[in-house]
Amino acid sequence: MDTIEKIKTQISENPILLYMKGSPKFPSCGFSAQASQALMNCGEPFAFVDILQNPEIRAELPKYADWPTFPQLWVDGELVGGCDIIMEMFQQGELKPLIAETAAKYPKPE
C-alpha cells in the first residue's frame, strides 16, 4: 500500500483523526499540544498519527490535504484544519458539538 492509500485508509477508518507531532499525552510541539488538548476537552475518543514516527506521511499528507502544516484534524473524512482553526472552533464552542455529533454517528463497538 503506498503512502497516499495509507492516508486515505486512516482517514476513512477513523472518524476523528489528528495528525500531530508526538502523541496527545506527549506532544512534541506546542501546536500539537494545543490541538490535542482541545480535542481531549471534547470528551470523545479520537485517533492520532504521530507524523514524527511516520516520515512518509509527514511528507505526503500536506500535498494530499493541500494543507502545509501540522497538526491536521480530520473529522468524518474532511479536513477541518490546523491548530489555529481548531483553537478558534474550540473557543467559539463549535468544536465540541462537531466532535460529539461525529462520535455519535460511529458507535463504539461493545
- Which sequence spans correspond to the domains of the chain? 3-105
pLDDT greater than 90 at residue 108: no
Known binding-site positions: 21, 29, 58, 70, 83-84
Average confidence score pLDDT of the chain: 96
Half-sphere exposure of 58 (CA within 13 A, CB side): 9
Share of the chain above pLDDT 90, in %: 95
Known binding-site positions for [2Fe-2S] cluster: 29
Within 1-110, residue ranges assigned H as helices are: 3-13, 30-41, 55-65, 83-91, 95-105
Q: Sorting pLDDT into bands at 50, 70 and 90, what band is 28?
A: very high
What pLDDT score does 110 carry?
58
3-105 CATH fold: Glutaredoxin (3.40.30)
Known binding-site positions for glutathione: 21, 58, 70, 83-84
